[in-house]
Structure 1
Amino acid sequence: MNAPQNRTLAAFGAVLVYAFVIAFTDNFVRVIARDGGLWQFHATRTAMAFVLLALAAVPFGLRLWPRRPGPVLARSAIHAAAMVIYFGALAFLPVAQVAAGLFTAPIFVLLIQRFLYGHPIGALQVLAVFTGFLGVVLVLGPEAMTGATFAALLPVISGALYAMGNIATREWCAGETAETILAGFFGMLGVIGLVGMAVLWLVPLPVAEGAEGFLLRGPVWPTGEFLWWTFVQAAGSLLGVGMIVKAYQIAEASRVSVFEYVILPASAAWGLILWGERLSWIAMAGMGLIVLAGVLIARPAPNQSPARSSTASRQ
C-alpha cells in the first residue's frame, strides 16, 4: 500500500488559519475578564462548544463518546488544569508572553518522556532544552527569574501541565477520535467552571473591578459583550483545533509541529494591531530561541518515526 502523499503547503495553510484564529480570540480574554469571571467563562464556553459540536455531530458523522472513558477523563483533567491557568494568565499578561510560556510544552514533553518513560534523549535534543529555557528566560524577563512576580511564571506552569496532557494523549488515549478528546476536554473545563462558580457563590470573596477580578469573581449576570466574545472563543477554539487536526492528516507530524510555532509571531502581531503592545527586542529574541528549540526537538532521532507534536490538541 502506498504511503499517503504529503501536502505540506496545504498543511501550512491550515496551521496559519489555526494560529491566526486562536491568537485573535485569545486577545479578547481581557475583554471577557472585565465583566465576568474565569469560572463562568469556562462554564459558558463549554455550553456553547457543546451546542456547536452537537450541531456538527450528525452531518459530519462525529463520534463524541470515548471508547475508554477512564483514560480520556484523566487526560482531560490534566489538560483542563493547564488551560485554566493559561486563560487566567491571559487576563493580565500579553498574549505573546502567555503563548511563549505554553509553547515550552515540547521541552517538558522531552523531559517527562526521558525521566518517567525512559525514552532516550539525543545530544541535539539536550541542546534544544537549554535553548528553549534560555528563550523562556528572555521572554518572561528578569522579574520572573528574581521571583518578583509569580504571575509571570504561570504560563510556564501551564506549559508543563499541557505537556503532561499531551503525553497522556499518546500513552493513554490511542484509538480515540480527535472530536472525542476535544469533547472530553471541553466537558472537564465546564465541570471545573461550574465548581468554581458554586464555591465563589457560597463563599464570595472581595473582587477587584474589571479584569483584575477575573480569577476571584463568582457568577454574575452576563453582559452582551461577555456572551459575544465567549461565543467567539468557543467557535474559534473548535475551528482552530479542526484546522490543526486536518494539518496532521495531510502532512508528516515532524513538519507540521514546526509550523505550529507560527502562533508566537501571530500572537505578537495581534497584540500590536489590537492593543498597541510592542515586545522588546529581548523578548522577540527569546521567542526566536523557543521556535529554534521546537525545530530541534521535532527532528526525529535516527531509526525513529516522527512523533506527534505536543501542541496538536491546544484549546
Structure 2
Amino acid sequence: MQSDKTTSPILSSVLMVSAMAIIGVIDNVVILLADTIGLWQFHLSRALLMLPLIAGLSLFGLGGLRPKRLGPVILRSVLITMAMLFYFASLAMMPIAQALAGLFTSPIFVLLISSLGLKQTIGPWRIMAVLIGFTGILCVLQPNPGEFDAKTLLPVVGGLFYALSSIVTRSHCSDESTVALLASMIITLGLAGAIGVAVLSVFPIASPDGPDGFVFRGWVSDMRPAVSWILIQACGSTVAVFMLIKSYQIGEPSYVAVFEYSVMIFGPLFAWVALGQTIGTMQIAGIALIATAGALLGWRAGRAPAGQAAT
C-alpha cells in the first residue's frame, strides 16, 4: 500500500546534509572545551540548555514530550547515552575522523546483531557491505598490534551501543514521538552527567591537564572559558536535530539515512581548516569505504519489499 504522507526527496536530503554540516562543525568544539571542564559537567550543562529548546520543538508541532511506553524509551535512552559518552570521550582523545569512523560502525553492528542475535537471514549484498565497512574501519583506525591503545576502541564501543539503541528504536519505539525520544535521551545524558560529577566530587581522581583529563575531571567551578563552546554545542545540536527530524518526516528513511554519512566529510574538513587536524590517504580511503558500506545497507533496505528483510 502506498503511504499517504507526502515525500520530498530533494528537501529531505538538503535538510539532512545541512544537519550533518552543523554537527560536523560543533562536534569539533569538544576538543576546545575539554581543556577546561570534564565530560560529565559538559553533558549536564548542555542538557540543561537543550531541554528548553527541545520543549520548543514540541510547541512547533514536531511531536509530544510524553512517551507512550516508558520502559522501552528509557532503555533506548540509556543505550544511546552510553554511545554518546563513549563518542564524546573519544573526541577529546583523537581526531574527529577516527571518532566518527568508530561511531558509524553502528550499521555494521546492527546487521551482525540482527543476524547472530536475532537470527535474521542476511544475503550476500549485506555481507559484502559488512566486509567493506570493516575494511574501512581498519583503514581509519589503523590498529597496530605492537602499539595497541585501548583509546582507539572507544568510538567503536560507542558504535555498538548506538546500534543496540537503533534496534530498540525499531522494535519497540517506532510509534513514539521523535521529540519525546530526543527529550528522554537528553534527560538521561544530563542525569549521567550529574552522577559522574557527583561521583568524582566524592571520589576525586587525579586527572592530567588539557583534553587528556576530560573523562576523569569532576566539577570545575570556573567554567567561563568553556561556556561559549557549550552554548554553541547546545544550540547547534538542537537546530541540527530539528533538521534531522524534519528530514525523516518528509523523506524515505532508507534514502535519507545515506546522507548522514556526509558528516564524515564535514567533520574532518572543518577539523583540518580550523584546528589543523590532518588525515592521511589511507584514512580518507577508509572513510569512503565506511560511507559506501552504509549507503549499500541503506540501498538494500530501501529495495526490500514491505515485511521482508533486505538481503
2: CA distance, partners of 1:2 / 1:174: 16
- Show CA shifts across 1:254-279 (max 9, x none): 21111111110111111111112221
Tell which deviates more after alignment, 134-143 or 5-14: 5-14
Matched, 1:292 2:299: no
1:146 is displaced (CA, Å) by 4.8
- Alignment pair present for 1:48 and 2:24: no
Tell me which amino acid in the other structure corresponds to 2:181.
Answer: I
Distance in 1 of aligned mates of 2:207 and 2:106? 32
TM-score (norm 1): 0.92
Superposition deviation, residue 156 in structure 1: 0.8
Structure 1 spans left out of the alignment, 5+ residues = 308-315
Following superposition of structure 1 onto structure 2, how do residues 270-289 of structure 1 map, counting pairs within 5 Å?
Answer: 270-289=270-289
> Which amino acid letter does the alignment assign opposite residue 18 of structure 1?
A
Question: In structure 2, how many angstroms separate the alpha carbons of the residues matched to 1:288 and 1:176?
Answer: 33
> Counterpart of 1:28 in 2: which secondary structure?
helix
Moved more, 20-29 or 241-250: 241-250
Instruction: Give, as a single letter, the amino acid of the residue that structure 2 aligns with 1:137.
Output: L
Counterpart of 2:175, as a letter, is: G
In 2: Cα distance, 1:71 partner to 1:120 partner: 25
What's the offset of the Cα at 1:51? 2.1
8 Å CA contact 1:138, 1:283 repeated in 2 = yes
Asked if 2 retains the 8 angstrom alpha-carbon contact of 1:73 and 1:184, the reply is yes
Change (3 A) 1:220 1:259: same
2:154 corresponds to 1:149: no
1:228 maps to which residue?
228
Q: TM-score, normalization: structure 2? A: 0.93
Q: Could you tell me how far apart the structure 2 residues matched to 1:236 and 1:21 are?
A: 6
> Aligned partner of 1:76: which letter?
S
Q: What residue in structure 1 maps to residue 165 of structure 2? A: 165
1:32 deviation in Å? Answer: 1.0
Measured after TM superposition, the shift of residue 231 of structure 1 is 1.7
Aligned residue for 2:108?
107
1:71 equivalent to 2:111? Answer no
**Is the 8 Å Cα contact of residues 57 and 242 (structure 2) preserved in structure 1?**
no
Distance in 2, matches of 1:152 and 1:242, equals 31
Q: 1:251 offset after TM fit, Å? A: 1.8
| Kept after mapping to 2: 8 A contact 1:197/1:218 | yes
In the alignment, what sits opposite 2:29? 28
1:154 deviation in Å? 0.9
Q: Which residue of 2 aligns with 1:117?
A: 118
Say if 2:19 and 2:240, in contact at 8 Å, map to a contact too.
Answer: yes
Within the alignment, does 1:139 sit opposite 2:140 as a pair? yes
Count of aligned pairs between the two proteins: 306
Asked if the contact 1:298–1:306 (Cα under 8 Å) also holds between the matched residues in 2, the reply is: no
Confirm whether residue 182 of structure 1 aligns to residue 182 of structure 2: yes
1:147 Cα deviation from its structure 2 partner: 5.7
Is contact 1:71–1:172 with CA below 8 Å preserved after alignment? Answer: yes
Change beyond 3 A, Cα 1:117–1:281: same
Q: Secondary structure at the match of 1:142?
A: coil
Tell me: CA distance 1:160–1:202, structure 2 relative to 1, closer, same or farther (3 Å). Answer: same
2:10 aligned residue: 9
Residue matched to 1:256: 256
Q: In the superposition, relative to structure 1, how do residues 225 and 57 fare at CA in structure 2: closer, same or farther (>3 Å)?
A: farther
1:191-242: CA deviation from partner (whole Å, max 9, x where unpaired): 1111110110001111111211111111111422312211211121121122
Q: Counterpart of 1:227 in 2: which secondary structure? A: helix
Aligned to 1:312: none
- TM-fit CA distance, 1:92: 1.6
Q: Shift of residue 24 of structure 1?
A: 0.6
Cα displacement string for residues 124-158 of structure 1 (whole angstroms, at most 9, x for unaligned residues): 10011011000000000133x55611111111111
Q: 1:306 to 1:158 in 2, by over 3 A?
A: farther
The SS at the match of 2:215 is coil
- Alignment check: 8 A CA contact 1:22 1:240 kept: yes
Query: In the TM superposition, what is the alpha-carbon distance from 1:61 to its structure 2 partner?
Result: 6.6
Distance 2:119 2:274 in 1: 45
Q: Which amino acid aligns with 1:8?
A: P
Aligned equivalents of 2:222, 2:167: Cα separation in 1: 36
| Residue identity opposite 1:287 in structure 2 | I
After superposition, the CA RMSD in angstroms is: 1.8
